[in-house]
Amino acid sequence: MLSKYWVAVKWRRCSFHMLFFSVAVLAGSLESFSQDPSSPYELLTLWAGTLPIIFSAPHGGRQSVAGANVRRGVGVAQFTTERDHNTDELAEKTAEKLEVRLGAKPFLLVANFERKYLDLNRSPERAYESAEAKFHYDTYHSALRVAQDRVRREWGSGLLLDIHGQSAQHDTIYRGTNNGKTVMSLIRRFGVEAIIGPQSIFSRLEERGYKVLPPTAAPHKEDRYAGGYIVQTYGSHQPSGIDAIQLEFGAKLRARANLERTATDLAEAIAVFTQAYLPLMKSPPGIETMSPP
């Protein structure tokens, strides 16, 4: 049996009832249920968390989507089918280390399917080209919305970290907040120090020797990787959003030989940020109830 806070959903091309049931497990009781570990259809991994932090890893998957066509991207700007190698493992390792550090588990959503079938960091009309892929797109974003709503309801505020890989600079981490737009609530409450100050995630990473762009020493504009569809959709500039940051890791930092160190240092940086800027105690219960997505 899986632990009470873990939900691993192994997807087939299945009915809406399965979608409703699986997302409801994340949203509601968190009861354990087992899955066949030999199933070849493990396409989505969910953790229901006990921290106001959500990790999203949409581009590291390696599995095929049964019945789905490989995307051709005709007429789609900035089209790519490349995998962000090892970002799925980086997100999961970081989440595990953060749980050890803080004694509570973050939410985690990992897509285990290949980006060539669908791109979760794009709007629906640019993300997929077949009905089979649409189902998994809708499932991921439904689960992400449920996690976001739960963080808002139970803690009042929280942080979404969208984990990606980039090939522009192999030893660099790019920050993406749409130049502060997707973290409007965080900046309003604590100022820009929460993004570039000594207890920020990026300042802590710089202290550990990582190259961060834009650097925290000056409020440079986020030019290259300013934040994609996920942070733009779920960021705190949206009426129902929470603060959201896209992190783009260079290939060297995602290499298997370096994954352990990168995850350890990232978890430590997030832990320091969490203790400074996030509510670790849940908000008093209100009258709002969770509705299915």
10-14, 90-94, 131-135, 245-249: range with lowest mean pLDDT = 10-14
Residue 8: the pLDDT is 41
Confidence of residue 94 (pLDDT cuts 50, 70, 90): very high
Cα-Cα-Cα-Cα dihedral sign, residues 245, 235, 83, 80 = negative
Query: How many Å apart are CA 218 and CA 214, to the nearest integer?
Result: 8
The dihedral through the CA atoms of 26, 272, 270, 194 has a sign that is positive
Map out the domains of the chain with their CATH numbers. 6-277 (3.40.630.40)
User: How far apart, in whole angstroms, are the C-alpha atoms of residue 240 and residue 39?
Assistant: 36
CA distance 64 to 70: 9
In the chain, what percentage of residues exceed pLDDT 70?
A: 81
Mean of pLDDT over the chain: 83
Write down the pLDDT at residue 60: 83
- Quickly state the pLDDT bin for 63 (edges 50, 70, 90): confident
Looking at residue 45, what is its pLDDT?
A: 87
Q: Which residue type, as a one-letter code, is found at position 62?
A: R
Question: Is a pLDDT exceeding 80 seen at residue 4?
Answer: no
Q: Are strands 53-57 and 44-47 parallel, antiparallel or unpaired?
A: unpaired
Tokens of 268: 């430590």
Per-residue model confidence (pLDDT) at position 81: 65
Which among 63, 62, 79, 59 has a CA at the least distance from the CA of 71? Answer: 79
Band of the pLDDT at 28, cuts 50, 70, 90?
very low
Mean pLDDT of 161-186: 96
* DSSP labels, 241-285: --EEEEEEEEHHHHSTTTHHHHHHHHHHHHHHHHHHHS--SPPPP
Question: Could you tell me the pLDDT band of residue 42, with boundaries at 50, 70 and 90?
Answer: low
